[in-house]
């Protein structure tokens, strides 16, 4: 697939089927469609990257006062390494700024070097490790925090 033209928008209920499909391809313990539906009904920001009507990736964040916690970020395996993850994070951060979120936390597998590098490009810094955080396979999580949201395009 050539590099698709991608737009990032807020996730809608009708995106959940495609999002859950990507989730099941990328994660060993995927969220269900109901999990995404429940999340959309809470204080969250969920975005999708689309080419035409096809969801290529997504990111979700729970919000509490001025803090956000990124729960999941995924790009369809067929279109990874094409800059879609960067567009998704950028879109999420723009919405977080509008919502007056000032601090964002996330966990990432310690072995996921491409994701760690991407987060670092946006200014996330490693602040610790959660031992045995992930299952299937069991692995530690790197805790990363963004203390100041900048604009990246």
Show the domains of the chain with their CATH numbers.
Answer: 7-146 (3.40.630.30)
Nearest C-alpha neighbor of 133 from the set 107, 105, 98: 107
* Distance separating alpha carbons of residues 5 and 84, to the nearest angstrom: 10
Cα 10 from chain centroid?
12
66 a catalytic residue: no
Q: Which two tokens stand for residue 90?
A: 């950028």
Q: What is the pLDDT of residues 56-68, one digit of tens each?
A: 999 999 999 999 9
Band of pLDDT at residue 153, cut at 50, 70 and 90:
very low
* Distance (Å, whole) CA 93 – CA 45: 10
- E strand or H helix at 48: strand 44-51
Chain centre to alpha carbon of residue 104: 12
107, 134, 139, 147: the active-site residue: 107
Rounded CA separation 88/141 (Å): 21
| 8-state DSSP, 31 | P
pLDDT in tens, 74-111: 999 999 999 999 999 999 999 999 999 999 999 999 99
* Residue 107 a catalytic site member: yes
Which residue of the set 62, 67, 94, 119 is catalytic? 119
């Amino acid at each position: 697939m050539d590099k698709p033209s991608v737009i990032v928008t807020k996730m809608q209920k009708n995106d959940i089927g495609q999002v859950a499909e990507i989730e099941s391809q990328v994660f060993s313990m995927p969220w269900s469609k109901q999990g995404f539906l429940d999340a959309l009904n809470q204080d969250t920001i969920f975005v999708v990257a689309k080419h035409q009507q096809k969801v290529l990736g997504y990111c979700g964040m729970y919000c509490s006062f001025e803090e956000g916690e990124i729960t999941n970020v995924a790009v369809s395996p067929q279109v990874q390494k094409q800059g879609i993850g960067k567009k998704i994070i950028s879109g999420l951060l723009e919405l977080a700024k509008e919502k007056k979120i000032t601090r964002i936390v996330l966990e990432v597998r310690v072995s996921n070097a491409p994701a760690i590098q991407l987060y670092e490009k946006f200014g996330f810094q490693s602040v610790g490790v959660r031992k045995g955080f992930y299952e299937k396979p069991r692995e530690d999580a790197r805790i990363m925090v963004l203390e100041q949201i900048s604009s990246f395009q």
